A and B are shown apart, each in its own frame.
Chain A
Amino acid sequence: MRRVVITGVGAVSPHGLTSADLWRGLTEMRSSIAPLSAFDPATFPSRIAGQVPAFKTLDYVPKSYRKATKIMARDIELAVLAADGAVRDAHLATRGVMESFGGKKPDDSWFEVDSRRIGCNIGAGLICADLNELTSAMAPAKGDDGSLSLRKWGKSDDPSKPSGMDQLTPLWLLKYLPNMLACHVSIIHDTQGPSNTITCQQASAGLALAEACRTIQRGQADIALVGGCESMVHPMGLMRWTLLHRLTTTGNDQPSRACRAMDQTADGTVIAEGGSVLIIEELQHALARGGKIYAEVAGLGATSSARGIGGPDPAGEAMAVAMRKSLKDAGTDPRDVQLVVPAGYGIPRDDQAEASAIKSVFASQHPEVVAIRGGLGDAGAGSQALDLAAAAMALHYQSVPGAVNCTTPLAGLNVPQQTHAAALKHVLVSTGSIAGQNSAIVLRRYV
């Protein structure tokens, strides 16, 4: 079977705009949770967020594609940034990269890709329409009962004036289709291979990576851009997570301590934004071009908790099965895993189930467990993508970042309090989504 390795990492997170920023934030054990500034959250019980620092999308797209930035929702912008970081890190001279270098490779360390042999599989969330934009169009069509009048929305009383809907840009719908993350990225980098958009909330990125990995294993592509990005920092996102009681409401005065992933004192998560795009590549292809290898994608496992939004079963059985499947697929056993990166939302019920799953899989083994949500928050479909980026870098640098805000870990978990060097061979990245999809990936050190 064809083996698959990770040869590039791009990440956009509350820690910064690059994978190096992410790694620095993790190893320095920072929290980038801060008061929410994207809009005024005064009337919400949770008023903090993990927000990505300011950036200009225009800086990350080729000149010829600048017009398209007008129809990019924030989630799409994040994916464009992460993909740009990933292809540059992997020294892939894609169409977009070549254009930024004036049409030619800067030097021979860059590899000119065969567009037909490169795929794109980026997980995405439910992208919400911009409230200001939509309401501005709806306002003149307000009905007598306070809701939108479909009559005024569809047709203007005064033929010389546009109707409500006519005030929306013609391409309005395309800003919010989840597959537009992959669409824009595939156009910018000219990736014509298999492309998909997995929408399984927080488990999206692991499932996307697994699927793209299978396409490479069976020979339908040599390279793929994989991952996931989402911005939960949107009024609708905050409203939904609030109504579902997922968010901490006690951390507003001390944002950096608010999200206590896998800790006994956890009382809710924090909304965030970001994500990551990784370059995965067939091993021989990577070796032949002299690509830098972060890690091998060794094992894939996925299950469903089959409980709707009832959350994981308290014993974390389905999550544990996904972990075991991934270990079996990797041909390794729990004794050879040194680090586990769980979702660790900081939501007591979910964290407990994950802890149970980890303990049932690893029994008397005690791999280190580091959940990175503590300093970053929950970025929806971007979350597991950041976990995968972190795991790939941990293997590459042979270093385990210390956990943030987890000084009293859930019972039985071995949570490092300091960043330290470590001989890592296998890292298990596991996530269960809010609707019950579980994704487990085993990454292996490549030597």
Chain B
Amino acid sequence: MKNRVVITGIGWVTPLGRTIDGVWAKLLAGESGIAPTKLFDARFFPTQFAAEVKDYQLPEHLRTSGKHEEISRATGFALDAAHQAWRMAGLPMPGSPASAAVDPYSVGVYLGSGDAALDFDNFTRAALGSWDSEKRSMNMPEWGRRALGSFNALREIEQEPAMPISHVSMEFDARGPAMNCLTACAASTQALGEAAELIRRGDAEVIISGGAHSMIHPFGVTGFNRLTALSTFNEDPKRSCRPFDATRSGFVIGEGSGVLILESLDHATARGAKILAEVVGYGSSADAYRVTDQHPEGRGAIVAIESALRDAGMQTSDIDYINAHGTGTKENDSTETFAIKGVFKEHAKNVPISSIKSMMGHLIAAAGAVEAITCVLCIRDQMIPPTANYSVPDPECDLDYVPNSARKTKVDVAMSNSFGFGGQNDTLILRKFVPG
């Protein structure tokens, strides 16, 4: 018999703030966290705005602990979000008297986090200073001299995508399985799904799961601008991300972290934890189609959604809400709609679907985690946040996207989709917790 997996804590750091209820209120009100880019000078980039975590400062206890020197922005977000979630779950901090009750080897960490920004000044100076313009190639001995003389060892290693889990594991003395996956925009949904599977199999009792990412740096935005994936609607950043709208023109890069405490039902019950929701279904697939494009008929997305339903033992009619991947690119939103219709058939029109990326931007590897938290809140409050900026219907996107205003409705079961560049597709199903 597989262990049931429940959610006992949530925390996030987002472009709309860093408290659960503060951000939730803004999502329900349709507020936008998108504004002109401040983290670097983007005035001459094709895209000059982003969904930044504004005026962010790491909480003091993390700043002064001496354990987290030179951490990346994303690692800071992850630590902050993990603290919120850990506290909400009522789990004891290592070293506190109550911590003796928790076996550190039963607590795992599984995040979907991205690699951090290059050390921009040192990197570009070393590279440009050793460029041989006649030979049009690098003078490597010169680069070696400059790099070894200027780069900071810690700042370099902190760019590794495994560093958020490394710091979170150290912070909470979590010595169970520790993993990071990086399947682009699907990463944290996949992390949550695989973390749930670890608990189901009995490999851990508690897993700190979710994701963290910031690609709002010159080379990150360069990469997406070159792919022409980003919206360039500089005239009105707040209206730039328009999922499922006929005039949608690209996604908006965001940053942040979402962390959920997943726990075996037995463990949560034994310690009297308050249960927020249950993870009941997870499905994963690969498009195996093209590096750049989703399969036009949503082949992989359909498999992920169907296998999540099968895993949950549910019918499409059981799903009360779909939190869409809904990036606001031409391709994603029509493909996702096509895939939902492919699975839900006639019923597709009856299921409310929304994309919080319209307000929050796209947190890339961390997107799925904040969307899973959103689903938890939808179940808690029986409310659905809107898809903001929706005004012109697209014949290819003809479902109920909860346009522009939040909706009070029954949400006992919520589905969240995430699809990554490179073809990884992941779907999670969360359910209101019912004991027994």
Which residues on A are within 8 Å of B, measured CB to CB?
39-44, 68, 71, 115-116, 119-120, 124, 126, 129, 131-132, 134-136, 138-139, 142, 146-148, 150-155, 163, 165-166, 168-174, 177-180, 182-184, 186-187, 189-201, 207, 211, 214-215, 217-218, 220, 235, 239-240, 242-244, 300, 302-309, 318, 321, 433-437
Contacts and interface: CB of A to CB of B under 8 A. Distances in A.
B434 interface: no
B140 A40 contact: yes
B105 A321 contact: yes
Contacts of A240: 153, 156-157
Most buried by B among A129, A198, A307: A198
A169 B40 CA distance: 23
19 contacts: A126-B115, A131-B138, A132-B137, A150-B40, A151-B41, A170-B226, A172-B223, A172-B226, A178-B115, A179-B183, A179-B184, A179-B421, A197-B181, A211-B179, A215-B197, A300-B203, A302-B108, A304-B174, A435-B160
Contact of B148 (A43, A195, A201, A217): A43
Given A170-B228, A197-B181, A308-B170, A42 B175 contact: no
A233 to B, nearest CB: 13
A194 B189 CA distance: 13
Given A126-B115, A179-B424, A211-B194, A147 B128 contact: yes
B276 interface: no
Given A192-B288, A195-B284, A195-B285, A303 B141 contact: no
Given A135-B138, A201-B160, A304 B144 contact: no
A115 B42 CA distance: 44
B109 interface: yes
B82 to A, nearest CB: 13
B156 A135 contact: no
B274 interface: no
Contacts of A139: 128, 131, 133
Given A40-B140, A146-B125, A200-B180, A186 B423 contact: yes
Contact of A193 (B40, B129, B285): B285
B198 to A, nearest CB: 8
B318 to A, nearest CB: 20
Contacts of B109: 304
Nearest to A72: B291
A190 B288 contact: yes
A174 B423 CA distance: 12
A305 B226 contact: no
A343 to B, nearest CB: 15
Given A135-B138, A196-B194, A43 B145 contact: yes
Given A139-B128, A239-B148, 18 more contacts: A41-B144, A42-B144, A131-B127, A150-B45, A154-B44, A182-B424, A186-B288, A194-B284, A195-B285, A198-B181, A199-B161, A200-B162, A235-B147, A243-B151, A243-B152, A244-B156, A302-B108, A318-B175
A192 B224 contact: no
A307 to B, nearest CB: 6
Contacts of B40: 150
Interface in B288-342: 288-292, 299-300, 303, 307
